[in-house]
Amino acid sequence: MQNSLSFIHELGQNNNREWFHANRDRYEEARKEFRAFVERLIGGLELIDPDLGPVQAGNAIFRIHRDIRFTNDKSPYKTNFGAFIVRGGKKSGNAGYYFHLEPGNSFTGGGVYHPMPDILKAIRKEIYENAEEFLGIIKNREFHDFFGNLYDDDMLKTPPRNFPADFRYIDLLKYKSYTVLRNFDDSLVRGSGLYEETIRAFRLMVPFNRFINNALSD
């Protein structure tokens, strides 16, 4: 992923249309490299998550152009490559598998990030009704050693509405996202072991994503 990482690094220092258009060929090469990696990930995922269904790399990869309509930051381009491999596509609301390439901040993750209220309510209900099963997944030794705790960048301060405050595992219902992540340093991204480490992460995520998606299919 050397070409992709190098291009993104330089784009971060030259985030303007003039530089981007002057380096369009380099962008196309970097994107081609990233797409090939995502295609390889999809092939590996098809072997470990039969629920995934058909996914095209082009539909999984996010656009590099930023939506600048509602922000004071008018930088036109994202300074990362990202792909969300998920059943039904990026807008389905389903839990899936994410890969993020960014100098000094590459990572893989999974689950659902800031889902719509009806989806979040369904996930909380599933956890409320099957808390021991969910705990068995996120407290599994290999899973927890690899990812740590659920990503908790934004949690409720009080119990969510319509759930009993004295529920034994009430803290599990306070998340606004149900995601896990694993950071990758640049040496891994540039090396030969990135695919194997990402697929390992995805394999560990399968029960986690399956639990969430089962909640959404009821």
Confidence bin at 218 (pLDDT 50/70/90): low
Q: Tell me the residue range of the domain where 210 lies.
A: 2-217
Express each pLDDT in 10-43 by its tens digit: 999 999 999 999 999 999 999 999 999 999 999 9
What integer pLDDT is reported at residue 108 of this predicted model? Answer: 97
Tokens 């596509």 belong to residue: 89
In total, how many domains does the chain have?
Answer: 1
- Per the CB < 8 A criterion, the answer to whether 143 and 203 are in contact is no
Express each pLDDT in 60-116 by its tens digit: 999 999 887 778 888 999 999 999 999 998 889 999 999 999 999 999 999 999 999
Express each pLDDT in 139-179 by its tens digit: 999 999 999 999 988 899 999 999 999 999 999 999 999 99
Kindly give the interhelix angle for 131-138 and 194-217, rounded to the nearest 10 degrees.
Answer: 170
What integer pLDDT is reported at residue 72 of this predicted model? Answer: 80
CATH number for the domain that contains residue 24? 3.30.930
- The model's pTM is 0.94
Whole-Å CA distances, 51 to 31, 46, 116, 135, 176: 27, 8, 22, 22, 24
- Per the CB < 8 A criterion, the answer to whether 66 and 75 are in contact is yes
